[in-house]
A = this chain, B = another copy of it.
Amino acid sequence: MSERADRIIAEAAQLFAQRGFGATSIDDIGAAVGISGPAIYWHFVGKQALLAAMLIDISERLLDGARSSVEESASGVDAVVRLVALQVAFALREPDLIVIHGRDLHHLDAAQAQKVRLLQRQYIDVWTTVLTSTHPDLARNRLGAAVRAVIGLINSTPNLGRVDRKSLEPMLVAMALAALAAIS
């Protein structure tokens, strides 16, 4: 990916997060980069491709990170702590992508949406598999629901208002772990 393409993705991500995919025009993105709108078509096949690029990229990064965390961990509870810390750090570092991922996924066409949803499901499955070791008495789909709820908690970071985000990190980790400990 060229330098210019990276800039386009970065600016588009900011605009998508602020205004939404539908309310951001190709010309807006071009203007933010410093080129004309149609110039984007030299680097990407279309507007959807921008969205797909960022969504697939973050989904893959998250999945890879989760798998690495689990591999490196010494025990089940250690793995849970690492997964929570990873998600919290990601949500605090890239709130724009969190917003876009939760809001604009449906602007992808069927094939691309399916790809993103698959990655998402695999990510949830990494969490769920870890939890089956710490909560062997619970059904798997129940654990999956709990995982989604905890990720919902962590991903609310972008809406947390005017607070110093960094100072929230320990609290969010504590809340997420407490919620996971309350699964029944």
A interface residues (Cβ-Cβ under 8 A, vs B): 19-20, 22-23, 102-103, 106-107, 141-142, 144-146, 148-157, 159-163, 168, 170-172, 174-184
Contact = CB atoms under 8 A, between A and B. Distances in A.
Nearest to A141: B163
Nearest to A177: B182
Given A178-B179, A178-B182, A179-B176, A171 B142 contact: yes
A23 B21 CA distance: 12
Contacts of A162: 141
Given A168-B145, A170-B184, A177-B182, A19 B159 contact: no
Contact of A183 (B22, B142, B175): B175
Contacts of A149: 153-154, 156-157, 160, 172, 175
A161 B103 CA distance: 17
A141 to B, nearest CB: 5
A142 B163 contact: yes
Contacts of A142: 163, 168, 171
Nearest to A165: B145
Contacts of A183: 171, 174-175
Contact of A148 (B144, B161, B182): B161
Nearest to A156: B152
Given A102-B102, A106-B19, A151-B156, A163 B182 contact: no
Contact of A156 (B103, B148, B181): B148
Nearest to A21: B22
B170 A145 contact: no
A184 B172 CA distance: 9
Contacts of A146: 171, 175
B161 A144 contact: yes
Contact of A178 (B19, B107, B178): B178
